[in-house]
Amino acid sequence: MIDETSIQVGQEMHRFIADLFPICRSITGDGVRDTLCLIGKHIPVEIHEIPSGTKVFDWIVPKEWNIRDAYIKNTKGERIVDFKKSNLHVVSYSQPIQRKMAFGELQSHLYTFPDRPDWIPYRTSYYKESWGFCLSHQQFKEFMDEEYEVCIDSTFEEGHLTYGECYLRGETTQEILISCHICHPSLCNDNLSGIALSTFLAKALSLESLRYSYRFLFIPGTIGSIAWLALHEGQVSNIKSGMVVTGVGDPGAMTYKKSRQGNAEIDRAFSHILKASGKKHSIIDFFPYGYDERQYCSPGFNLPVGCFMRTPHGEYIEYHTSGDNLTFVRPEYLEESFICCLEVLTLLERNKTFLSQNPKCEPQLGKRGLYRAIGGESEGAKREMAMLWVLNLSDGNHSLLEIAERSTISFDVVYKAADVLSEHGLLKEVTC
Amino acid sequence: MIDETSIQVGQEMHRFIADLFPICRSITGDGVRDTLCLIGKHIPVEIHEIPSGTKVFDWIVPKEWNIRDAYIKNTKGERIVDFKKSNLHVVSYSQPIQRKMAFGELQSHLYTFPDRPDWIPYRTSYYKESWGFCLSHQQFKEFMDEEYEVCIDSTFEEGHLTYGECYLRGETTQEILISCHICHPSLCNDNLSGIALSTFLAKALSLESLRYSYRFLFIPGTIGSIAWLALHEGQVSNIKSGMVVTGVGDPGAMTYKKSRQGNAEIDRAFSHILKASGKKHSIIDFFPYGYDERQYCSPGFNLPVGCFMRTPHGEYIEYHTSGDNLTFVRPEYLEESFICCLEVLTLLERNKTFLSQNPKCEPQLGKRGLYRAIGGESEGAKREMAMLWVLNLSDGNHSLLEIAERSTISFDVVYKAADVLSEHGLLKEVTC
Amino acid sequence: MIDETSIQVGQEMHRFIADLFPICRSITGDGVRDTLCLIGKHIPVEIHEIPSGTKVFDWIVPKEWNIRDAYIKNTKGERIVDFKKSNLHVVSYSQPIQRKMAFGELQSHLYTFPDRPDWIPYRTSYYKESWGFCLSHQQFKEFMDEEYEVCIDSTFEEGHLTYGECYLRGETTQEILISCHICHPSLCNDNLSGIALSTFLAKALSLESLRYSYRFLFIPGTIGSIAWLALHEGQVSNIKSGMVVTGVGDPGAMTYKKSRQGNAEIDRAFSHILKASGKKHSIIDFFPYGYDERQYCSPGFNLPVGCFMRTPHGEYIEYHTSGDNLTFVRPEYLEESFICCLEVLTLLERNKTFLSQNPKCEPQLGKRGLYRAIGGESEGAKREMAMLWVLNLSDGNHSLLEIAERSTISFDVVYKAADVLSEHGLLKEVTC
């Protein structure tokens, strides 16, 4: 699968991120719809709308929030904070407001980073009625003790929570879930990089004939995964593996956070691929914080869903600031992340379990032309060792990944060995 | 429970040790009765007497030994070795004797430490008929080749083995066993420190309403625990956890020796508390030597009983000598040991298993006021993480201690999180 | 068993290797028969002949190969390569040939080591019709561009595969398999050292009364073990432990390669003995390459058979060259290897599981005279600790080896302790 992928994918992902960047997304509203519409230009996305007020487990789908404009004007009538310049300026889910007020009153609604004076913070207030502006500390320092005109032209209405779904049907109904959040405004690594990676993975896979079915979810964080799980409780048992993708474009090392199960196939697949990559990486244990893996791995579901990222959230200073922009995420890192995920999915597709058809003693490889004529070439020796390992461990209890783990041969070489042995009738797939 | 304990407990324990110090204890006899009588001034102790000759498994309760006086007089009639000055001078369970003898004969009955010339050794001869004196090497060097008058005014009679028991009834009949030996004469760390710790633990617990029942045994070493087990075989299945306490007043690091089971709740509780204490400590595997854990952990019982101490027996030079005195054990170490044990017992009392009432996805903590309004305070963050861990792992298979272990959050914080969640109806205890 | 072994065994093994050295062995033929005949002078060997063409699993027993003479003559009629000088000169299983040819044609049938110019390589071509000569690179450089007379006086005939078997009957039919290969010509470490070790082990064991039965196989590599397994499939379930012995005379550290099971009794026995030896050694995991353990550990058999050697094959430069000669293997290393194997077999013979007859509390060792009267002697302390460990873990679930492992006391001391306790009626063997 990997070979057919254009090596230009990093550039294309970055361009797609640039297209999505200006849209003001939140957990509901037209920003999400516009985002899904752009995704739909690359892959087939089915759009779902869940009405406000729908009870989903312990939560209720909130009212839909939309915003048209927002600003703070000084006495000269100048927009000194302007939503049109950056949609981070408004605290997400801010109540509408339109009136003049003294700086003293306004001040408690302003958020800045005094220690990173050029950057605008990103803040939300989904479940508490409130309003506010985020601005750079430079801007803040120009405020004076005078009256300001404050306007947030937002609406809260009974509407919908919107999410998108791309389902690729494979040979079996067993499925692999790939989930990303689409609820952040102009933030690149946290949110857009995951959207881009999911989109381009779906694009790449849609060209292949697949063993598993694949479900890509483009959902608002937390409430989105909770809503999806609540409305599809009956079908989660189809999920064989899954991953949340987020923060995959920054320069940090690739990081895989294991599922709550800790030793699921997806956990072992990421561990194997990252180790085999020879690149600096990090494999961390599950903890009940972070992204939507919190919901997928809640005890009542306990799904084999991990989280793939680069630098974990909160561990880079650009996190949840205007510093998380188009300069921060780079095509080369997006591409590296993309290739890692595609290799993991390729591994899952290929990770079958076989039964040696000659379990008693080794079969005679030489008479089948599977042995080097005269020894010496080291590539051939590796291939032979892989064949011997596959034959030795194909007792129905070891998948190819487990054989790769035990032999410390890369999955790819093990897979090719199994393929050759199958062609010669020496292995038969175990179906269970 | 801990907060209500006087911080003066180390001083009080040391004073109690001083009261007990002069008594000449052995595995039977009035010294044991006098000791139990003093313990009884602090806590309710039931005194049990087992007749000599009683068969207890492979052993027989020995005759009762009592001693009134003993000395060696020189030709001038001076008591050059005098039991009244130190009860260590007589080998415990010495046969009575009263006669004159040449130094040549006497010499083989004298025990000293040539390399620690100021200290008197401690020796016993419970199961072999014999007599002897222990003395400092300084004293020994003053002996001359002349005749000495030797007197040991001891008696061996059909009597009893005496032990004490303090039982605190809790909500359940499942009990926690705390066992210490009371058979050594004027030795402080080896014997009196354990007695004091047990006594003050019982005192502290008797003020509390308890989940478990507690059984404190004050028994002679080896034969005492064997006798107790033989006579209470039918009820040992009530013992959920237990600890032998000994040598808890010396300056060495706290040491916990695991039960034979190796991964019992008591083993994990001590490991957790000692690690969380940040103090230098040592956790060692079970071995079939040491104190009464040898009997509790014999294969036919295999009880979850560990051993709490500071420096293990035989690893400090004062061990079984007159150097193990009131100066060697210090209030601050007694207190530290006391607090560690009380923390462990508190953990056991609180170590319940819960079932999340919202196992599918996270419950919405915010609407219950359980989420920081605006993030930032790190104490709040820790509390939230603890709540998320408790919710995530409360699937009925993880006790709070196991949650603390996996999350590496201290038990205390995990317990408080569970408490708050229970109050809000988010958890329900699993009773099994 | 070990004590009765002559300490001259290393010298004797080396002499035996010298006797076997000149014979031209291959996987079939009279060289094998001659070899078995010499083994038969030391131990009773039953000789088996399997007809060419016999199907054994995926393989077919090949034609029998015999060779009488071979040479390359120059134009002067001088034998410049002469089989009579070294039987390594002919590629094993070479087709017969007798004709003159130009150097150009001959060259592709000559094998040398340019980087080890004094040594003759060892090459085989069992399953591909071919012929060739191996020679030192020094010899090769003297060839000129002229005509040579080439002669290989070999025969391929419907004959037999020959192997030898020495079976020592013990108390039970459960057996211990010791397997070595006998198919290499004048190579000492790879092949003759294993034959010598097996022979002298059989000799030593034949003098003992044995718990297990022992089966020594002297077989050609690969095809021999495959043939034996194919013809004795029904009885392999008797094999309780086994080892392939090979390469046991070189100066490298002793190496044990575990069976595929990885934690079989034989694996643990070798680990224990090698650790206890205090000598530099190496314990490595199973991999499906090497010697006949590949067949014994194929998934359809998965027998508890490891491989004992010194430097693993291919990791010493003398491997498969004329450098693997009588100087390379030394009596002292042969002897060390012999002693290690004998200690392992002694351990297996003695590794029983007992049930303490006093499981509840310790039995009173003192009244049985099993306790030091007055403590102090450290040998006695070790013996007592061993007795206490044996009593504590003899619950029917721990073999003596497991007790040795857990207590970190050497097996020998544990065994003696169990022996003394059994004599006193404190232990009873568990038979299962």
pLDDT in tens, C258-294: 999 999 999 999 999 999 999 999 999 999 999 999 9
| B251: pLDDT strictly greater than 80 | yes
Distance from CA of C59 to the nearest CA of A (A): 6
- Residue A144: phi and psi, rounded to 5, are -125, 170
CB pairs under 8 A between A and B: 65
Query: Which value, to the nearest 10 degrees, does the dihedral of the CA atoms of residues C7, C13, C19, C23 take?
Result: 180
Among chain C residues, the shortest Cα distance to A355 is held by: C299
Inter-chain residue contact C298 with A360, CB threshold 8 Å: yes
Residue whose structure tokens are 């046991």? C248
Percent over 70 (pLDDT), chain B: 96
Identify all chain B residues contacting C394, using CB atoms and an 8 Å cutoff.
299
pLDDT digits (tens, 9 = 90+) for A13-44: 999 999 999 999 999 999 999 999 999 999 99
pTM of the model: 0.93
Q: Which two tokens stand for residue C364?
A: 């009173």
If one compares C167 and B366, the residue with the highest pLDDT of the two is C167
pLDDT digits (tens, 9 = 90+) for B164-204: 999 999 999 999 999 999 999 999 999 999 999 999 999 99
CB pairs under 8 A between A and C: 65
The partner residue sitting opposite C59, judged by closest CB among A356, A364, A394, is A364
| B43: pLDDT strictly greater than 50 | yes
CB pairs under 8 A between B and C: 65
Distance from CA of B25 to the nearest CA of C (A): 21
pLDDT digits (tens, 9 = 90+) for C112-163: 999 999 999 999 999 889 999 999 999 999 999 999 999 999 999 999 999 9
Distance from CA of B387 to the nearest CA of A (A): 9
Identify all chain C residues contacting A366, using CB atoms and an 8 Å cutoff.
127-128
Inter-chain residue contact A288 with B389, CB threshold 8 Å: yes
Best of C361, C397, C409 to disrupt the B interface (most B CBs within 10 Å) is C361
Distance from CA of A407 to the nearest CA of C (A): 8
Task: Check residue B328 and give its pLDDT.
Answer: 98
Percent over 70 (pLDDT), chain C: 96
Which residues in chain A come in under a pLDDT of 70? Answer: 1-7, 372-379, 432
Strand partners, A133: A90, A110
For B62-77, what is the mean pLDDT? 97
Task: Check residue A4 and give its pLDDT.
Answer: 46
The partner residue sitting opposite A294, judged by closest CB among B358, B362, B373, is B362
The partner residue sitting opposite C360, judged by closest CB among B222, B289, B300, is B300
Partner chains of B (3+ C-beta pairs under 8 Å): A, C
Identify all chain B residues contacting C366, using CB atoms and an 8 Å cutoff.
127-128
Q: What is the DSSP string of A85-152?
A: T-GGGB-BTPPPEEEEEEHHHHHTTEE--TTSTTPPB--B-TTS----EE--HHHHHT--SSEEEEEE
* Amino acid in the structure at residue A345: L
Inter-chain residue contact A297 with B363, CB threshold 8 Å: no
Residue whose structure tokens are 């950057």? A119
Inter-chain residue contact C289 with A388, CB threshold 8 Å: yes
Task: Check residue A371 and give its pLDDT.
Answer: 80
Q: What is the mean pLDDT of chain B?
A: 95
| B375: pLDDT strictly greater than 90 | no
The partner residue sitting opposite C388, judged by closest CB among B230, B288, B301, is B288
* N-term to C-term CA, chain B: 25
Identify all chain C residues contacting B110, using CB atoms and an 8 Å cutoff.
none
Among chain B residues, the shortest Cα distance to C384 is held by: B289
Task: Check residue B372 and give its pLDDT.
Answer: 67
Identify the band that residue B377 occupies on the pLDDT scale cut at 50, 70 and 90: low
| C375: pLDDT strictly greater than 50 | no
Identify all chain B residues contacting C395, using CB atoms and an 8 Å cutoff.
299, 302
Strand partners, B90: B133
Task: State how far the Cα of C134 lies from the Cα of C91, in Å rounded to an integer.
Answer: 7
Q: Taking Cα atoms as reference points, which of B95, B34, B87, B39 lies closest to residue B62?
A: B95
| DSSP classification of residue B190 | I
Task: Check residue A372 and give its pLDDT.
Answer: 67
Chain C stretch 237-296, residues whose beta carbon is closer than 8 A to a beta carbon of chain A: 260, 287-289, 294-295
| B5: pLDDT strictly greater than 60 | no
Task: Check residue B431 and give its pLDDT.
Answer: 84
Contact (Cβ atoms closer than 8 angstroms) between residue C409 and residue C385? yes
Task: Check residue A377 and give its pLDDT.
Answer: 53
Among chain A residues, the shortest Cα distance to C296 is held by: A361
Identify the band that residue B4 occupies on the pLDDT scale cut at 50, 70 and 90: very low
pLDDT digits (tens, 9 = 90+) for C26-67: 999 999 999 999 999 999 999 999 999 999 999 999 999 999
ipTM for this prediction = 0.94
Inter-chain residue contact A230 with B364, CB threshold 8 Å: no
Inter-chain residue contact B362 with A297, CB threshold 8 Å: no
Partner chains of C (3+ C-beta pairs under 8 Å): A, B
Chain B stretch 348-407, residues whose beta carbon is closer than 8 A to a beta carbon of chain A: 356, 358-364, 366-367, 373, 385, 388-389, 391-395, 407
Identify all chain C residues contacting A428, using CB atoms and an 8 Å cutoff.
none
